[in-house]
């Protein structure tokens, strides 16, 4: 293969992977931008989504990929809601609640990871919906799994975006983000709004996990951690909770990641990705697109 064909192939891989990064990161950034909570347990919630889809097929039988994605999204939404109810809500209003919540979520991450490890008996398992086949576009072979990853990720991204920007619920979330006390005076329940935000965040993590699991045909207890650091970079670069910024940042980091891996070695990937992140932040400290959230600006 020539260097041009390698570049084109890795560029496609980067765009595909970038869509998944953006979906995962958008859910994580949504909680920070809306509630000011750094939910480190998000990476374990991601893993539980994939494991839930795996268990459903194991005990019920084969089913279409779109249904597995819905199962993973629903399971991750429920788990993330539990994270809020048990680890975040009890600490609201307490002194230094930001640090207390951060530490609480770290504990939740370890607990969830160990639960998944026990469920899988500390083994790597095969995801039950591997995607085969592909198409040729301008001489480039594009796998069906890449098409599914892009379409599913963008669909989930679009649904949550429309909920946040175009519905009454979205207006309640934005109002709570700007001023929770003022939102309460308008009849908005901040705790219920926060619970819904955690559920949406978890659903996005579940979609990303199911797509990754199906694309690479593997699930293990640590699968969330390998994507979490990249998702954080995407979130920071794109702006906390900024939809367009997160999507563009995901595509940029996805391309930088795969192209650097294609021409160098995997070991240099994170160095180049985070080096590029620091370079951008040194010029533009708020990332590519500043957030509108009052919480984050504060």
Q: Where are the domains of the chain?
A: 3-291
Alpha carbons 213 and 127: distance in angstroms, whole number: 6
pLDDT of residue 200: 94
Structure token digits, residue 101? 């919540």
Name the strand (E) or helix (H) holding 134: strand 134-137
Whose CA is closest to 43, among 83, 100, 90?
83
Pair of tokens at residue 172: 């309640």
- What number does CATH give the domain 3-291? 1.10.3470
Cα 152 to chain centroid, rounded: 13
Query: Along the 298 residues of the chain, how does pLDDT read in single tens digits?
Result: 576 777 778 788 888 888 988 899 888 988 988 888 889 999 999 999 999 988 988 888 878 888 888 999 999 999 999 999 999 999 987 878 888 999 999 999 999 999 999 999 888 888 766 566 666 766 677 777 788 888 888 898 888 888 888 889 888 888 888 877 888 888 889 899 999 999 999 999 999 998 888 878 888 998 888 788 888 888 888 876 677 888 888 888 888 888 777 666 666 667 777 777 787 778 776 666 765 544 444 3
* DSSP symbol at 85: I
- Whether this prediction's pTM lies above 0.85 is answered by yes
Number of H helices, E strands in the chain: 12, 2
pLDDT confidence of residue 139: 67
pLDDT at 297 (0 to 100): 40
Q: Please state, as a whole number, how many other Cβ atoms lie within 10 Å of the Cβ of residue 269.
A: 17
Predicted confidence (pLDDT) per residue in 213-264, tens digit? 887 888 899 888 878 888 888 888 887 667 788 888 888 888 888 877 766 6
């Amino acid at each position: 293969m020539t260097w041009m064909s390698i570049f084109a192939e890795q560029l496609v891989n980067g765009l595909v992977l970038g869509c998944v990064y953006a979906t995962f990161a958008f859910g994580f950034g949504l909680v920070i931008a809306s509630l000011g909570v750094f939910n480190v347990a998000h990476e374990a919630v991601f893993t539980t989504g994939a494991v839930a889809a795996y268990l459903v097929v194991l005990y019920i039988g084969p089913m279409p990929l779109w249904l597995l994605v819905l199962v993973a999204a629903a399971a991750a939404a429920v788990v993330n809601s539990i994270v809020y109810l048990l680890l975040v809500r009890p600490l609201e209003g307490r002194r230094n609640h930001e640090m207390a919540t951060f530490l609480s979520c770290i504990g939740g991450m370890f607990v969830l990871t160990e639960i998944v490890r026990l469920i899988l008996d500390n083994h790597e398992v095969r995801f039950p919906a591997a995607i085969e086949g592909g198409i040729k576009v301008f001489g480039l072979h594009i796998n069906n799994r890449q098409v599914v990853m892009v379409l599913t990720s963008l669909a989930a991204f679009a649904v949550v975006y429309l909920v946040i920007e175009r519905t009454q619920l979205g207006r309640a979330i934005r109002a709570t983000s700007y001023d929770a006390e003022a939102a309460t005076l308008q009849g908005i329940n901040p705790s219920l709004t926060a619970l819904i935000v955690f559920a949406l965040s978890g659903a996005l993590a579940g979609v990303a996990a199911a797509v990754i699991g199906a694309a690479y045909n593997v699930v293990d207890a640590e699968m969330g951690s390998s994507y979490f650091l990249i998702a954080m970079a995407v979130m920071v670069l794109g702006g906390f909770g900024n939809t367009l910024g997160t999507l563009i940042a995901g595509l940029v980091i996805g391309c930088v990641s795969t192209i650097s891996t294609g021409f160098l070695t995997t070991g240099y990937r994170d160095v180049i990705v985070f080096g590029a992140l620091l370079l951008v932040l040194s010029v533009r400290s708020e990332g590519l697109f500043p957030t509108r959230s009052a919480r984050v600006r504060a």
